């Protein structure tokens, strides 16, 4: 049998060839040197050669206000176009389909680099992706403060959206109240809600120290209605595949999305395969997808995810102080309150080196540490004690939020008895210090509010709020242990009306954060003197406070109005007390990437951190990162158009008086 090989040229005019009669001849279709299809000519009535549609060219992206306009040259025979976007010019996500013009406006560009590619669609198929556009970089002026951010979307026949904002103990009621107010209706816009959640993550202004991006989706059924919201897809498989691709390929400030799905199959679900496919594809990995059988399991899964996110978003440092040991002594610190060190599942073990006061050959049980196998010891002033600090401690068991430190014991190995001996003089209260520092993260909750949940809807909301409460609990930095230390610039957890303060041994207690911030390094809000709300522009023409009191009344005090309790703005005299070098040491430093002053009391060693937050004039922010301006409540004695404020930069700390209409920071005090 002879074989006639016919090479099909793709880019030629359309031709119809008919009348093939050979009974034993075959047609091989090659791609390069590889046969991709084989046909018997006897079975072919005709062969049609179709012109391959070309990829669009001249892809140009142009910034226009808050949007980016993408244009390209029209392609012959193209019926429509698809636009794809990427933050790294590697992973592209479908942005829009069914575009009939040769331009598209991206109204929600991502922060950072935006690359675009275009694909042409014709009746005969689609082109390959075009070359990429030159990147358009979106930069925002305002700096989001360090913290945990959350957004919520409830879905049924519509979407109910709680925009992404900071979650903290003093703001959690905004989130729990939103969940409590959600109502159930028919419809399940599951796929569409997930799309919108991802878009919300992408376009949000988030902190520069972001370390984790997460999305948690709960559903009890199948999608019903998303096709009416997005006509680009016509089947569950097509839409779900696109959503999964968006989850896996979208980056938020260069970070991937860790997506979790929780499914409680409703009684009305008969398509088990589709239900399972939904759970798998709405998660970033199969292990993040969980089908549960009861609301108790829903709650347990919410809490498990909360613990995991807590662990990922925090950095735990543990310092342990012991007397110097004989060279070669094997030491073990246990953290799980065992009576026999050999039974511990949570420990740090190493061998003491007398020559350099280090701990070597370190092994970690039930935890990991960024400090590695050798940790240098720091000899204390009395030269007897040595302190070992273990950084970036992570518990490997999901049941632990962090490594517990309330039952630490220290043991030495006795070789001739092959047993561990406990050091009964080791005092965890005075010889340990634990610091847990929170990094920034953002979480989207996507919650099924369809009526198929029935009476379980209220229970779901309760469990979702428990998840929110759990995450809010872990948003503040903390330091524990007998040795006083600092984390986030503070040394106490005393609060007044929900806001923390530090006792510096002065006439007033000083807040740990600026008004409007939830972390010591957060810039917070800016206020004109005597005004109690923020605004987009600070000028003399829109300044509203016309009175000239020697000291601001509480009704015009930004601290009292916004924080309540006994909080107020400090007087100039109280700022002078803080500034006085006989009372406090001022050290210019950088905390979590933010410049400012650590102010340490000479009376008790406690400290606060004041970020160099700059000031606002008109709609602009000036001096952020280099200068700090903090209002007092005191009117200038030389010019009633002025008020006094604390002023600092890297080389000095002083006071000044200037126009009251400028937007400046407020660090509150209480009695």
Predicted confidence at residue 486, as pLDDT, reads: 33
CATH at residue 115: 2.60.40.10
State yes or no: pLDDT of 57 exceeds 50: yes
617 and 499 belong to one structural domain: yes
131 and 81 belong to one structural domain: yes
State yes or no: pLDDT of 167 exceeds 50: yes
71 and 38 belong to one structural domain: no
State yes or no: pLDDT of 62 exceeds 80: yes
Binned at pLDDT 50, 70 and 90, residue 93 comes out as: confident
Rounded CA-CA distance 434/454 in Å is: 46
What are the distances in angstroms from CA 508 to CA 92, 490, 511, 566, 568?
A: 55, 16, 10, 11, 10
**Tokens 């007897």, located at residue:** 384
163 and 290 belong to one structural domain: yes
Binned at pLDDT 50, 70 and 90, residue 26 comes out as: confident
Predicted confidence at residue 419, as pLDDT, reads: 95
The last residue of one of the domains, among 109, 138, 167, is: 138
Binned at pLDDT 50, 70 and 90, residue 547 comes out as: very high
91 and 182 belong to one structural domain: no
Containing domain of residue 69, as a range? 60-138
259 and 282 belong to one structural domain: yes
* Tens digit of each residue's pLDDT (9 = 90 or more) over 279-323: 999 999 999 999 999 998 998 888 888 877 766 767 788 889 999
Predicted confidence at residue 398, as pLDDT, reads: 61
The last residue of one of the domains, among 138, 160, 189, is: 138
How far, rounded to the nearest angstrom, does the alpha carbon of residue 343 sit from its chain's CA centroid? Answer: 38
321 and 401 belong to one structural domain: yes
Predicted confidence at residue 279, as pLDDT, reads: 96
Predicted confidence at residue 648, as pLDDT, reads: 94
Q: What is the CA radius of gyration of the chain?
A: 32
Predicted confidence at residue 491, as pLDDT, reads: 39
Tell me the mean pLDDT in the region 372-386. 84
Binned at pLDDT 50, 70 and 90, residue 523 comes out as: very high
Predicted confidence at residue 478, as pLDDT, reads: 45
Collect contacts of 511-515 with beta carbons under 8 A, ≥24 apart.
511/559, 511/567, 511/608, 511/667, 511/668, 511/669, 511/670, 512/488, 512/608, 512/609, 514/611, 514/613, 514/665, 514/666, 514/667, 515/558, 515/559, 515/562, 515/563, 515/665, 515/666, 515/667, 515/668
Predicted confidence at residue 619, as pLDDT, reads: 85
208 lies in a domain?
yes
State yes or no: pLDDT of 48 exceeds 60: yes
378 and 344 belong to one structural domain: yes
Tell me the mean pLDDT in the region 568-587. 95
Mean pLDDT in the chain?
Answer: 86
309 and 331 belong to one structural domain: no
Question: DSSP strand E in 287-346: where?
Answer: 289-292, 314-323, 330-334
CATH at residue 376: 2.60.40
Rounded CA-CA distance 154/165 in Å is: 16
333 lies in a domain?
yes
Predicted confidence at residue 381, as pLDDT, reads: 60
The last residue of one of the domains, among 138, 173, 191, is: 138
39 lies in a domain?
yes
* Tens digit of each residue's pLDDT (9 = 90 or more) over 114-138: 999 999 999 888 999 999 999 887 7
CATH at residue 222: 3.40.50
Q: Tokens at residue 443, please?
A: 């979480």
Report helix angle 172-181 to 456-473, nearest 10: 170
Three-class SS of residue 461?
helix
480 lies in a domain?
no
* Tens digit of each residue's pLDDT (9 = 90 or more) over 237-282: 999 999 999 999 999 988 999 999 999 988 788 899 999 999 999 9
Tell me the mean pLDDT in the region 624-643. 94
* Tens digit of each residue's pLDDT (9 = 90 or more) over 178-187: 999 999 999 9
Question: DSSP strand E in 182-282: where?
Answer: 210-219, 251-252, 255-256, 258-264
356 and 454 belong to one structural domain: no
Tell me the mean pLDDT in the region 376-390. 83
Please say whether the beta carbons of 554 and 669 come within 8 A. Answer: no
503 and 645 belong to one structural domain: yes
Alpha helices in 34-189 (DSSP H): 172-181
659 lies in a domain?
yes
234 lies in a domain?
yes
569 lies in a domain?
yes
Of residues 75 and 266, more confidently modeled: 75
647 and 498 belong to one structural domain: yes
Tell me the mean pLDDT in the region 503-511. 93
State the number of CA atoms in the 13 A half-sphere of 186 facing the CB.
Answer: 0
State yes or no: pLDDT of 18 exceeds 70: no
114 lies in a domain?
yes
Number of domains composing the chain: 5
């Amino acid at each position: 049998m002879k074989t006639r090989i016919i090479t099909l040229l793709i880019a030629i005019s359309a031709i119809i060839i008919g009348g093939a009669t050979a009974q034993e001849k075959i047609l091989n279709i090659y791609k390069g040197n590889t046969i991709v299809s084989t046909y018997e000519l006897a079975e072919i009535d005709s062969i049609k050669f179709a012109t391959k549609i070309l990829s669009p060219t001249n892809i140009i992206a142009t910034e226009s206000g808050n949007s980016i306009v993408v244009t390209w040259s029209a392609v012959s025979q193209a019926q429509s176009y698809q636009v794809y976007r990427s933050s790294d010019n590697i992973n592209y996500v479908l942005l829009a389909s069914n575009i009939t013009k040769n331009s598209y406006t991206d109204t929600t560009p991502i922060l950072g680099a935006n690359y675009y590619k275009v694909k042409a669609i014709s009746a005969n198929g689609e082109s390959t992706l075009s070359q990429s556009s030159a990147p358009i970089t979106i930069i925002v002026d305002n700096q989001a403060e360090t913290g945990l951010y959350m957004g919520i979307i409830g879905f049924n026949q519509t979407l109910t959206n709680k925009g992404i904002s900071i979650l903290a103990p003093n703001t959690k009621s905004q989130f729990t109240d939103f969940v409590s107010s959600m109502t159930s209706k028919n419809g399940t816009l599951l796929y569409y809600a997930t799309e919108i959640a991802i878009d919300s993550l992408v376009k949000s202004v988030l902190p520069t120290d972001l370390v984790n991006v997460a999305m948690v989706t709960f559903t009890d059924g199948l999608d019903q209605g998303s096709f009416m919201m997005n006509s680009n897809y016509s089947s569950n498989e097509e839409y779900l595949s696109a959503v999964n691709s968006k989850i896996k390929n979208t980056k938020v400030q260069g970070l991937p999305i860790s997506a979790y799905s929780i499914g409680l199959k409703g009684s009305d679900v008969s398509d088990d395969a589709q239900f399972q496919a939904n759970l798998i594809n709405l998660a970033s990995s199969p292990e993040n997808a969980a089908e549960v059988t009861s609301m108790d399991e829903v709650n347990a899964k919410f809490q498990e995810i909360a613990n995991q996110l807590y662990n990922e978003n925090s950095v735990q440092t543990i310092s342990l102080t012991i007397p110097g040991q004989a060279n070669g002594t094997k030491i073990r610190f246990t953290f799980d309150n065992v009576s026999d060190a050999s039974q511990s599942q949570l420990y740090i073990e190493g061998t003491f080196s007398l020559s350099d006061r280090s701990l070597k050959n370190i092994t970690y049980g039930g935890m990991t540490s960024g400090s590695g196998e050798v940790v240098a010891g720091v000899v204390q002033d009395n030269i007897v004690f040595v302190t070992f600090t273990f950084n970036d401690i992570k518990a490997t068991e999901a049941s632990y939020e962090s490594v517990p430190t309330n039952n630490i014991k220290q043991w030495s190995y006795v070789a001739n008895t092959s047993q561990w001996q406990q050091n009964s003089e080791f005092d965890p209260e005075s010889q340990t210090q634990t610091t847990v520092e929170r990094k920034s993260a953002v979480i989207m909750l996507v919650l099924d509010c369809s009526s198929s949940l029935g009476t379980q809807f209220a229970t779901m909301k309760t469990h979702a709020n428990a998840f929110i409460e759990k995450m809010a609990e872990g948003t503040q930095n903390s330091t524990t242990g007998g040795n006083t230390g600092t984390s986030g610039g503070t040394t106490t957890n005393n609060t007044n009306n929900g806001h923390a303060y530090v006792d510096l041994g002065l006439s007033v207690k000083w807040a740990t954060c600026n008004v409007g911030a939830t972390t010591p390094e957060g810039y917070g809000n800016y206020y004109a003197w005597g005004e109690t709300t923020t605004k987009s522009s600070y000028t003399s023409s829109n300044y509203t406070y016309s009175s000239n009191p020697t000291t601001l009344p509480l009704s015009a005090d930004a601290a009292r109005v916004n924080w309540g309790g006994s909080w107020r703005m400090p007087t100039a005299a109280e700022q002078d007390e803080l500034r006085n070098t006989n009372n406090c040491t001022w050290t210019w430093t950088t905390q979590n990437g933010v410049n400012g002053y650590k102010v340490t009391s000479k009376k008790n060693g406690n400290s606060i951190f004041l970020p160099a937050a700059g000031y606002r004039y008109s709609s602009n922010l000036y001096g952020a990162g280099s200068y700090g301006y903090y209002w007092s409540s005191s009117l200038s004695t030389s010019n009633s158009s002025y008020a006094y404020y604390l002023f600092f930069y890297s080389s000095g700390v002083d006071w000044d008086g200037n126009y009251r209409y400028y937007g400046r920071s407020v660090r509150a005090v209480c009695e």
